[in-house]
């Protein structure tokens, strides 16, 4: 065993866990929080049409960089990140995607139920100078979804340079809800990401094999380092996205209770009071926070417990830092008691365990799922349209993963045979896998049979994804597909 590894073991790290800790540098909180603009759209033949152009740019990340430094970035319709798309359940939408970069990229609609050919994964890459126009109908509950590139083997690099944005869905339940809902004022999108900068102020992406991937020493919200948001209402709603490539957060506002109202794919059944909330890469949550007139509070990321272990070096022990400062005005406008109706569609969207026709098993280890790395030419799983299934997923090693399935919102049935913690109770598309634990996920493949175009499932720690921790599944008509699971099926 090399000396370095012995040293790590000596200080309590887990073998294979990798690099030394990357402590986050505390910044001065003085920059107004950037709010991603709402994307304009037009209605054309009954379709709400957006456009998104991936392009290069430059931006200052002071105070993390020298005031004069211009960091080279990528963004959609701007220099960094992208506008917030927003649409209503029942609407038909299209997005005119243009690639003005000199590399191929793609735009994936994370959390969206839509045909595989519109999904924006590695089979829908857009050439430099090219364009792509996916079109689909919004048919799922109100939620905070997002979009980001998904080109084969390059997802980490493209997201790291700045390509990502939110896609907010509304429905009757969200329209009738008593919740803070003024975008950018008391309904605040928060894309949380980490970066490191070199001496010239450029992003550093080492890809030196450290686990769980590149961890930056600077944390930003919507691209703002040391961000401050002025609060003008008694309650504020934060739409949190962990848009980092590798880092997991445990969000809290010390001295305040958070009220979680929604997870990845929509509202919880009831408001859930929490002290803190862990979000792995790709996960979202909507939380409410109550503030007193004149007070200042900070959104903080606490030490992340990786599931029974505090893992130095992989974004665990000793790793706590502030993300955003909230400054309440001396007099605050009243906010409603949080409430939302049960959506009329709730029953149609509900999943029932007794409907499950099969169980598939997925073991994540190293860069492999069930012993194989991603192969664009191999379909790993074939599911039948309309089927409800259970996917049993486990990290079989000492490090966590962040498991994401395209096309569906699933329900976490159990973790190692026990009911999941309440924050995992809502609809989800991404789940943090604590090491060695077995997660049973219930999902239904509702529509859109297409035997030729696969959807992806993968780890959302993007280095893991890029290096092979991804598989492909197709949804087929019952006549075309096996009722038994394929490769990687249940093996009790």
**Which is closer to ligand C2O, CB of 449 or CB of 459?**
459
Q: Which is nearer to ligand C2O, 83 or 317 (CB)?
A: 83
List 177, 458, 464, 485, residue binding ligand C2O (CB under 6 A): 458
We find the least distance from the C-beta atom of residue 368 to Cu ion, in angstroms, to be: 10
CA pair distance 116, 450, nearest whole angstrom: 7
Binding-site partner at residue 401 among Cu ion, ligand C2O, none, CB < 5 to 8 Å by type:
Cu ion
- Whether the CA torsion 221, 222, 227, 232 is positive or negative: it is negative
How many residues lie near ligand C2O (CB under 6 A)? 10
Task: Output the residue with the shortest Cβ distance to Cu ion.
Answer: 459
Based on the shown chain and the rule CB under 6 A, indicate whether residue 280 belongs to the binding site for ligand C2O.
Answer: no
Cβ atoms within 10 Å of 65's Cβ, excluding its own: 21
Contact status, residue 136 vs residue 54, Cβ threshold 8 Å: no
CA proximity to 30, closest of 66, 68, 77, 63? 63
Scanning 14-22, 179-187, 349-357, 452-460 for contacts with ligand C2O by CB under 6 A, the matching segment is 452-460
**Residue 404 binds which entry of Cu ion, ligand C2O, none, CB below 5-8 Å type-dependent:** ligand C2O
The nearest distance, CB 142 to ligand C2O, in angstroms, is 19
Taking each continuous run of H as one helix and of E as one strand, the counts in the chain are 5, 33
The residue with its CB nearest to ligand C2O is 110
Q: Omega before 217 cis (within 30°)?
A: no
What's the rounded Cα separation, in Å, for the pair 265 and 199? 40
Binding mask 76-115 for ligand C2O (x = CB under 6 A): --------------------------------x-x-----
Q: Among 209, 216, 226, which Cα is nearest to 249's?
A: 216
For 418, half-sphere exposure in the C-beta direction (CA atoms, 13 angstrom radius) is 5
Minimum CB–partner distance for residue 464 and Cu ion (Å): 3
Residue 284 in the binding site for ligand C2O (CB under 6 A): no
Q: Does 282 bind ligand C2O (CB under 6 A)?
A: yes
- Closer of 343 and 456 to ligand C2O (Cβ): 456
Q: How big is the chain, counted in residues?
A: 492
55 vs 74: CA distance, rounded Å = 6
Q: How far apart are CA 245 and CA 390, in angstroms?
A: 27
Q: Is residue 148 a contact residue for ligand C2O (CB under 6 A)?
A: yes
247 binds ligand C2O (CB under 6 A): no
* Of the candidate residues 59, 150, 290, 464, the single one contacting ligand C2O (CB under 6 A): 150
Out of 404, 411, 428, 437, name the contact with ligand C2O by CB under 6 A: 404
Residue at token pair 């209503």: 88
Q: Out of 123, 278, 406, 440, which residue is the one contacting ligand C2O (CB under 6 A)?
A: 406
Distance CA 284, CA 280 (A): 9
Q: Which does 461 bind (CB under 5 to 8 A by kind): Cu ion, ligand C2O, none?
A: Cu ion
Q: Contact letters (x/-) for ligand C2O, 383-402, by CB under 6 A?
A: --------------------
**Binds 150, which of Cu ion, ligand C2O, none (CB < 5 to 8 A, cut-off by type)?**
ligand C2O
Q: CA–CA separation, 151 vs 22, rounded Å?
A: 27
3-state secondary structure of 479: helix
Which span (4-12, 289-297, 303-311, 456-464) binds ligand C2O, by CB under 6 A? 456-464
CA 488 – CA 50 distance, rounded (Å)? 39
Q: Among 434, 440, 457, 454, which Cα is nearest to 391's?
A: 440
* Strand partners of residue 148: 108
Partner touching 456 among ligand C2O, Cu ion, none, CB below 5 to 8 Å by kind: ligand C2O
Chain positions contacting Cu ion, by CB under 5 A:
401, 459, 461, 464
**Closest CB 241 distance from ligand C2O, rounded Å:** 10
DSSP strand pairing (356-365 vs 284-290): unpaired
Residues that bind ligand C2O (CB under 6 A): 108, 110, 148, 150, 282, 404, 406, 456, 458, 460
């Amino acid at each position: 065993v090399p000396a370095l590894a012995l040293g790590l073991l000596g200080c309590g790290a887990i073998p294979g866990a990798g690099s030394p800790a990357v402590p986050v540098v505390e910044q001065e909180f003085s920059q107004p929080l950037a709010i991603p603009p709402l994307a304009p759209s037009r209605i054309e033949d009954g379709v709400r049409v957006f456009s998104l152009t991936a392009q290069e740019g430059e931006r200052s990340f002071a105070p993390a960089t020298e005031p004069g430094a211009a960091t080279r970035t990528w963004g959609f319709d701007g220099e960094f990140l992208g506008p917030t798309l927003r649409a209503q359940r029942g609407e038909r939408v299209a997005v005119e995607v243009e690639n003005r970069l000199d590399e191929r990229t793609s735009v994936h609609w994370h959390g969206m139920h839509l045909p595989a050919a519109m999904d924006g994964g590695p089979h829908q890459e857009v050439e430099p100078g090219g364009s792509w126009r996916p079109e689909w109908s919004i048919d799922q509950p109100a939620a905070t979804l997002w979009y980001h590139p998904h080109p084969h083997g390059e997802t980490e690099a493209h997201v790291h340079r700045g390509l990502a944005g939110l896609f907010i869905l509304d429905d009757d339940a969200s329209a009738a809800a008593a919740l803070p809902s003024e975008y950018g004022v008391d309904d605040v999108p928060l894309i949380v990401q980490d970066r490191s900068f070199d001496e010239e102020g450029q992003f550093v992406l080492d890809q030196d094999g450290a686990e769980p991937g590149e961890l930056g020493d600077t944390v930003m919200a919507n691209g703002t380092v040391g961000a401050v948001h002025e609060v003008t209402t008694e309650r504020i709603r934060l739409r949190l996205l962990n848009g980092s490539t590798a880092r997991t957060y445990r969000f809290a506002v010390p001295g305040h209770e958070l009220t979680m109202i929604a997870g990845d794919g929509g509202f919880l059944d009831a408001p859930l009071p929490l002290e803190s909330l862990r979000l792995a890469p790709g996960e979202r949550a909507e939380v409410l926070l109550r503030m007193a007139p004149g007070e200042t509070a900070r959104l903080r990321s606490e030490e992340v417990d990786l599931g029974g272990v505090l893992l130095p070096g992989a974004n665990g022990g000793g790793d706590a830092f502030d993300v955003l400062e909230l400054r309440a005005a001396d007099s605050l406008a009243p906010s409603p008691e949080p409430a939302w109706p049960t959506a009329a569609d709730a029953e149609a969207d509900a999943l029932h365990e007794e409907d499950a026709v099969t169980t598939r098993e997925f073991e994540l280890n190293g860069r492999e799922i069930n012993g194989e790395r991603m192969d664009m030419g191999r379909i790993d799983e074939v599911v039948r349209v309309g089927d409800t299934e259970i996917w049993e997923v486990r990290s079989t090693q000492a490090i966590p993963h962040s498991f994401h399935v395209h096309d569906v919102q699933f329900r976490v049935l159990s973790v190692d045979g026990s009911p999941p913690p309440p924050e995992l109770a809502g609809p989800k598309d991404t789940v943090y896998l604590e090491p060695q634990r077995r997660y049973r996920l219930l999902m239904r493949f509702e529509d859109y049979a297409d035997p030729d175009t696969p959807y992806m499932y993968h780890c959302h720690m993007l280095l893991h994804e890029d290096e092979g921790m991804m598989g492909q599944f197709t949804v087929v008509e019952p006549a075309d597909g096996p009722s038994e699971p394929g490769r990687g099926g249940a093996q009790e």
